[in-house]
A and B are shown apart, each in its own frame.
Chain A
Amino acid sequence: MSDPRLPAAFLQPGTSSFSDFLAEQAPDLLPARRTVPQGHAGDLAPHGTTIVAATYPGGVVMAGDRRATMGNIIAQRDIEKVFPADEFSAVGIAGSAGIAVEMVRLFQTELEHYEKIEGTTLSMDGKANRLAALIRSNLGMAMQGLAVVPLFAGFDLTGGRGRIFSYDVTGGRYEETAFHSVGSGSLFARGALKKLYREDLDQTDCVTAVIQALYDAADDDSATGGPDLTRRIFPVVQVITADGGRRLPDAEVAAIADRVIAGRMAQPDGPTAPLTSSPITGGDAR
């Protein structure tokens, strides 16, 4: 009869990293340990598209559109691509959707596991580095077309401000200032945010700005979903402040999205920014 007790590895003091523990005990559960046959696998599975994040005094906002595509097909119109990573951070995913969702689950467990074992949360940089390590381990699959490029944002309690990190497929980690966007529509979203963003936005204005940016991304990128008025599907918006993170209720997002759309009825290209900056008033960019 085999020994019914917990395996010795469970009782051994040592790592407080869940992915390191899995790598030793159940490597088949790690997304990066799978071998994919030679060839390009990128067209086999849905792709997530645009994620936008922006900071404002007192917090950070992350939003993602709801579309997943497979080539010319819309694979899903209400996919969720922005997830809370822990109480004070959120992660949004672009790229191969299945692997990205699995990686988010691993990342969430990783942060919670550390917190429970050590009795304290990881620092903001520590969290960002752990995510970088997970992405780095996926490089083999990324080269076969199954890349995952997340955007990570959270409220840094020691610094008392929102922070945003972007990544490349090799696990490179880059801290962004003010705002950033990833995914197929990110160029358009970033361009829009550049004109809309100001440092003194309040929370509602910041949410409005990222929804405007997602609208612009959907306007010019076929893989990014715009607001779905008939089905009432709107972006997922995660707001993180010193009090923790929460997903903005659908009704609140819908109200802001409706205002954005009402504005676009009159001005399809959205708000215009002044041609020359007027630093004193800040301009009425909305």
Chain B
Amino acid sequence: MSMPFYVSPEQLMKDRADFARKGIARGRSVVAVQYADGVLFVSENPSQALHKVSEIYDRIAFAAVGRYNEFENLRIAGVRLADMRGYAYDRRDVTGRGLANAYAQTLGTIFSSGGEKPYEVELFVAEIGDAPEDDQLYRLTYDGQVADEHGYAVMGGAADVVASYLSERYAAGASLADAISLAVAALGHGEAEDRVIPVDDLEVAVLDRTRSQPRKFARIRPAQLEQVLGDRGPASPAPADAPTDAPTDETTDTPPADPGAPVDGLSGHGRNPEDEPPIAPPA
């Protein structure tokens, strides 16, 4: 009679966390920065069609890193949830907190259920209020934890490198142009050297409370970005030195950490941009 292998719950959770964290760190970072008129999202994303940052509702936006099909499903679920609540009650009754809770429950349940692969995603849910003090920025990790962020937040890729750059330079109440310049510079910041990310590879969007329409989400187009960023010197696109479909080979350089710790930047930065999947957008 054979004995099943015993795996301790701690080991099981740690393995699942390591698995999820590895998938998330493979892509490139997304930065969220609070500025005077709302919340700005910037990410390096060469695809014009597959977005990492999107609109959920009037004052709520969503940003994600990790596996595209997984966070796309979460995004659609969020849009459905928000639209259904807004239709059944009122537009003002759709809140970022409610949405963050729904996501947290979903991610947490999947993470701790043994039978399913944990989602390899990390999310921002942002909601703007009437004044900067009312703005909210939630960060959700693959295991369903919610953190309330203030000022700025970074996830995915070499998140700690970008975050340390921001922590030195971030100032509350910046103008949109300043916030964009800061966020773009932070994304281009590397441990060895800084690079200039081409304008066409940037995905930039804002929740802007000064917009006259009830829907406050707006994308900032490359032409507009060009004006804001001005001359930054010659652009250098992200290194693409690994085939995009190779799963991973970086097991060794993933430091173990407890599942509760925020995702730290791993050395896989720029190696394997799996979050730009080679698939067509939904027709």
Contact = CB atoms under 8 A, between A and B. Distances in A.
B20 interface: no
B77 A116 contact: no
Contacts of B56: 116
A5 B105 contact: yes
A5 B49 CA distance: 29
A5 B79 contact: no
B213 A119 contact: no
A105 B79 contact: no
Interface in A140-188: none
A25 B73 contact: no
B83 A6 contact: no
A6 B282 contact: no
Interface stretch (B84-92, B127-135, B190-198, B256-264): B84-92
Given A116-B54, A119-B51, A6 B79 contact: no
Contacts of A65: none
B102 interface: yes
Interface string A226-241: 0000000000000000
A21 B109 contact: no
A10 B83 contact: no
A112 interface: yes
Interface string B78-106: 01110110111000000000000011011
B220 interface: no
A116 B54 CA distance: 8
B105 A116 contact: no
B110 interface: yes
A109 B86 contact: yes
A6 B87 contact: no
Interface centre among B79, B88, B213, B215 (most CB of A within 10 A): B79
B88 A29 contact: yes
Given A4-B109, A5-B110, A113 B83 contact: yes
Contact of B105 (A6, A12, A113): A6
A10 B51 contact: no
B177 interface: no
A21 B81 CA distance: 11
B87 A5 contact: no
A251 B76 CA distance: 41
| Interface range on chain B (Cβ under 8 Å from partner) | 20 to 34
A6 B102 contact: yes
B281 interface: yes
A87 interface: yes
A151 to B, nearest CB: 23
A47 B110 CA distance: 50
Contacts of A11: 73-74, 76-77, 106
A109 B54 CA distance: 17
Contacts of B79: 113, 116-117
A116 B62 CA distance: 11
A105 B74 contact: no
A284 interface: no
B55 interface: yes
B83 A112 contact: yes
Nearest to B77: A10
Contacts of B213: 87
Contacts of B77: 6, 10-11
Interface in B32-91: 49, 51, 54-56, 73-74, 76-77, 79-81, 83-84, 86-88
A13 B76 contact: yes
Interface string A3-28: 11110001111001010011001100
Contacts of A18: 80, 83-84, 87
B77 to A, nearest CB: 4
Contacts of A119: 49, 51, 54, 281
A112 B88 CA distance: 15
Contacts of B80: 10, 18, 21, 113
Contacts of B55: 116
A6 B83 CA distance: 14
Nearest to B107: A5
Given A5-B105, A11-B106, A26-B84, 20 more contacts: A3-B109, A4-B105, A5-B106, A6-B77, A6-B81, A6-B103, A10-B76, A16-B282, A18-B83, A21-B84, A26-B88, A29-B87, A105-B87, A109-B86, A112-B83, A116-B55, A117-B76, A117-B282, A119-B51, A119-B54
27 contacts: A3-B109, A4-B109, A5-B105, A6-B77, A6-B81, A6-B102, A6-B103, A11-B73, A11-B74, A11-B76, A13-B73, A18-B80, A18-B84, A21-B84, A22-B84, A25-B84, A26-B88, A29-B87, A87-B213, A106-B87, A112-B83, A113-B83, A116-B54, A116-B56, A116-B79, A117-B76, A119-B49
Shortest Cβ-Cβ A-B pairs, 3 listed: A10-B77, A5-B106, A4-B105
